[in-house]
């Protein structure tokens, strides 16, 4: 530990954000960086706590706190404080394949378990991680690591989200030959087309792709496995196949909502699933040279919220991303409906540290809506009851209703219906498992939750040579969990192919 009294001498200082008034004019990333000396002071706050819960990934009351990757956080914080950035990087990369992703989009389970956070503010682990990896890329510490010897084994990975990329990275460095199949035109899964550019610049994803290609990983985009390539072809050509195709089957609205029992949202003009909406914006941005909101509007070719009253159904990260995106489009208003009650501002006594804090979080999209429209866009314990359309089938209004939960069942509160103007409704209600066709093509059974079945804490399916990892295996989850799943799956595949593994297992 570099500075035993650091947590007493320095207060937490988070990396500042670009003010809402400025950042809503662009799709550029809005998190800025502290200077190197300030960052070393923040790293000095990491105390010699004896039991570093930050790297534990403990499950308490059904919720995980601490890093799922078991990052060696006290070790690399110590080295950041001492100015040994390359040594710190080596400790970070020992457990984490893509700190540039988690350093931007992870909700920081590590910080919620930080011992400093019991009575004071936790260490800025998230910001320190991003500082390390970006310093490494800037200074040329990150170079291609090409395996000296190849095993002769070939592996196909279906899906290039964080789980597929992590598995590919691990297995490639082990010496196997890896080909990643991606049905979209670019790699990354939800890293590319689910998370907005202002939260994760797509140049960061493409930078990692270039590095992995230099190291020997082959990416085949625009290939839809189960449609363009058969399962039998992959099983014949490759020694192992990993299904990492995500959990992209969207949750629809309640069947009691008039117009919501539709097979495709496009049956009502103005109703879209959130990921389809976010993808259209990112795809348009990738086709132009600028990142300004005005640049996007001039280019067109996307689902636009300009001058529309927008309603977002769902209160998670994706819903927040939709809020930030429609504000940049120039929406007339935005309302976010959440079925659950409003969380408390502070921890309840029944939710003590180091449990995950069940408190109200005001994210960047909410902050921007408060700046733009003067109030928090969230309306709690409310859902959509009816779509009101024009004669041409265009969405004009919605009718909402208050709800409460009785015996775990959602029931409407009589007499609470309201009408809201709405020309664009975005369904951000989460996902219900993987799209079934890929699993069905391989004959891999799925659970009632829509996930691909394996034995508990394992990744091999009941189909010979076929493994699975990520959201299609565990269900909708975080990027950090997808990376951990990809790493663990890679170790299991390596053991299957070689009879032993040098990759870290649970």
Q: Is pTM, for the whole model, over 0.85?
A: yes
Q: Do 286 and 411 sit in the same domain of this protein?
A: yes
332: three-class secondary structure by DSSP: coil
Please report whether residue 441 resides in a domain.
Answer: yes
Read off the pLDDT of each residue in 321-341 and give the average, rounded to a whole number: 97
Q: Do 419 and 446 sit in the same domain of this protein?
A: no
CATH of the domain at 163: 3.50.50.60
Percent of the chain predicted with pLDDT > 70: 97
Q: Do 222 and 366 sit in the same domain of this protein?
A: no
Packed helices 125-138 and 85-93: angle between N→C axes, nearest 10 degrees = 110
Read off the pLDDT of each residue in 112-127 and give the average, rounded to a whole number: 95
Tokens found for residue 264: 């495709």
Q: What is the pLDDT of residue 264?
A: 47
DSSP structure string for 95-124: T-S-HHHHHHH---HHHHT-GGGGTSPPP-
Q: Do 465 and 411 sit in the same domain of this protein?
A: no
Please report whether residue 504 resides in a domain.
Answer: no
| Interior angle at CA 131, CA 490 and CA 469, nearest 5 | 20
Peptide bond into 354 cis (omega under 30): yes
Please report whether residue 257 resides in a domain.
Answer: no
Q: What is the pLDDT of residue 261?
A: 46
pLDDT at 260 over 70: no
Please report whether residue 134 resides in a domain.
Answer: yes
Which has the closest alpha carbon to 393: 262, 278, 280, 304?
262
Residue finishing a domain among 427, 448, 464: 427
Q: Do 209 and 87 sit in the same domain of this protein?
A: no
pLDDT tens per residue across span 406-457: 988 889 999 999 999 999 999 999 898 999 999 999 999 999 999 999 999 9
Residue finishing a domain among 390, 411, 427: 427
Please report whether residue 353 resides in a domain.
Answer: yes
Read off the pLDDT of each residue in 296-319 and give the average, rounded to a whole number: 96
pLDDT at 139 over 80: yes
pLDDT at 262 over 50: no
Which has the closest alpha carbon to 334: 342, 325, 323?
323
Q: What is the pLDDT of residue 462?
A: 97
Q: What is the pLDDT of residue 48?
A: 79
d(C-alpha 486, C-alpha 189), whole Å: 14
Residue finishing a domain among 110, 138, 166: 138
Q: Where are the alpha helices (DSSP H) in 443-478?
A: 471-474
Whether the CA torsion 24, 27, 30, 33 is positive or negative: it is: negative
Q: Which residues pair with 179 in a beta bridge?
A: 156, 218
Q: Do 385 and 312 sit in the same domain of this protein?
A: yes
Q: What is the pLDDT of residue 255?
A: 55
Domain count, the chain: 3
pLDDT tens per residue across span 3-60: 889 999 999 999 999 999 999 999 999 999 999 999 999 999 998 788 999 999 999 9
pLDDT at 256 over 80: no
Please report whether residue 349 resides in a domain.
Answer: yes
Tokens found for residue 114: 């930080």
DSSP structure string for 50-93: SS-GGGT-EEETTEEES-TT---HHHHHHHHHHT-HHHHHHHHH
CB 71 within 8 A of CB 92: yes
Q: What is the pLDDT of residue 263?
A: 43
328: three-class secondary structure by DSSP: helix
Q: Do 277 and 423 sit in the same domain of this protein?
A: yes
Torsion on CA atoms 229, 444, 101, 137, rounded to nearest 10? -50
Q: Which residues pair with 403 in a beta bridge?
A: 412
Q: Do 421 and 447 sit in the same domain of this protein?
A: no
CB 504 within 8 A of CB 487: yes
Please report whether residue 422 resides in a domain.
Answer: yes
| Interior angle at CA 278, CA 98 and CA 169, nearest 5 | 20
CATH of the domain at 109: 1.10.1060.10
Tokens found for residue 325: 């995106």
Domain with 242, as residue range(s), is: 154-247+432-498
Q: Do 275 and 369 sit in the same domain of this protein?
A: yes
Q: What is the pLDDT of residue 505?
A: 78
Q: What is the residue-averaged pLDDT of the chain?
A: 94
Read off the pLDDT of each residue in 453-480 and give the average, rounded to a whole number: 96
Q: Do 287 and 422 sit in the same domain of this protein?
A: yes
pLDDT tens per residue across span 384-406: 999 999 988 899 999 999 999 99
Q: Do 298 and 394 sit in the same domain of this protein?
A: yes
Q: Do 162 and 106 sit in the same domain of this protein?
A: no
d(C-alpha 339, C-alpha 172), whole Å: 44
């Amino acid at each position: 530990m570099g500075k035993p009294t650091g947590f007493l001498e320095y207060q937490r200082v988070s990396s500042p954000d670009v003010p809402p008034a400025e950042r809503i004019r662009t799709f550029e990333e809005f998190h800025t960086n502290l200077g190197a000396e300030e960052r070393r002071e923040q790293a000095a706050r990491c105390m010699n706590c004896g039991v570093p819960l930050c790297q534990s990934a403990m499950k308490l009351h059904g919720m995980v706190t601490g890093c799922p990757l078991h990052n060696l956080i006290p070790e690399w914080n110590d080295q950041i404080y001492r100015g040994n950035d390359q040594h710190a990087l080596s400790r970070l990369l020992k457990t984490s394949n893509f700190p540039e992703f988690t350093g931007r989009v992870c909700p920081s389970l590590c910080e919620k378990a930080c011992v400093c956070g019991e009575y004071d503010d936790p260490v800025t682990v998230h910001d320190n991680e991003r500082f390390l990896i970006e310093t490494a890329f800037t200074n040329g510490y990150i170079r291609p690591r090409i395996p000296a010897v190849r095993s002769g084994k070939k592996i196909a990975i279906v899906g290039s989200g964080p789980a597929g990329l992590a598995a590919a990275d691990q297995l490639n460095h082990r010496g196997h030959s890896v080909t990643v199949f991606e049905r979209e035109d670019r790699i990354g899964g939800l890293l590319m087309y689910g998370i907005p550019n202002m939260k994760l610049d797509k140049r960061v994803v493409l930078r990692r792709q270039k590095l992995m290609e230099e190291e020997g990983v082959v990416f085949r985009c625009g290939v839809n496995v189960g449609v363009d390539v058969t399962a039998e072809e992959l099983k014949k050509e490759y020694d192992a196949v990993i299904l990492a195709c995500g959990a992209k089957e969207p949750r629809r609205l309640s069947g009691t909502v008039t117009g919501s029992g539709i097979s495709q949202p496009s049956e009502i003009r103005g109703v879209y699933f959130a990921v389809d909406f976010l993808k259209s914006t990112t795809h348009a941005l990738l086709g132009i040279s600028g990142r300004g909101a005005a640049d996007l509007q001039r280019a067109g070719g996307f689902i636009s919220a300009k001058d529309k009253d927008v309603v977002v159904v769902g209160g998670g990260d994706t819903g927040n991303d939709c809020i930030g995106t429609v504000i940049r489009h120039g929406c007339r208003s935005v309302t976010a409906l959440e079925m659950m009650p409003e969380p408390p501002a502070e921890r309840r006594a029944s939710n003590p540290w180091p449990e995950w804090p069940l408190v109200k979080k005001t994210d960047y999209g909410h902050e921007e809506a408060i700046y733009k429209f003067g109030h928090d866009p969230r309306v709690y314990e409310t859902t959509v009851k009816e779509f009101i359309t024009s004669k041409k089938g265009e969405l004009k209004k919605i009718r909402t209703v208050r709800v409460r939960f009785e015996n775990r069942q959602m029931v409407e509160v009589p007499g609470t219906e309201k009408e809201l103007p709405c020309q664009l409704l975005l369904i951000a209600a989460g996902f219900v498992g993987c799209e079934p066709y890929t699993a069905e093509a391989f004959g891999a059974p799925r659970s009632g939750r829509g996930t691909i079945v394996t034995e508990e804490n394992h990744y091999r399916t009941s189909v010979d040579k076929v493994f699975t990892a990520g959201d299609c295996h565990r269900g909708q989850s975080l990027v950090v969990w997808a990376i951990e799943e990809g790493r663990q799956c890679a170790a299991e595949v390596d053991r299957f192919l070689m009879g032993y593994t040098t990759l870290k297992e649970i």
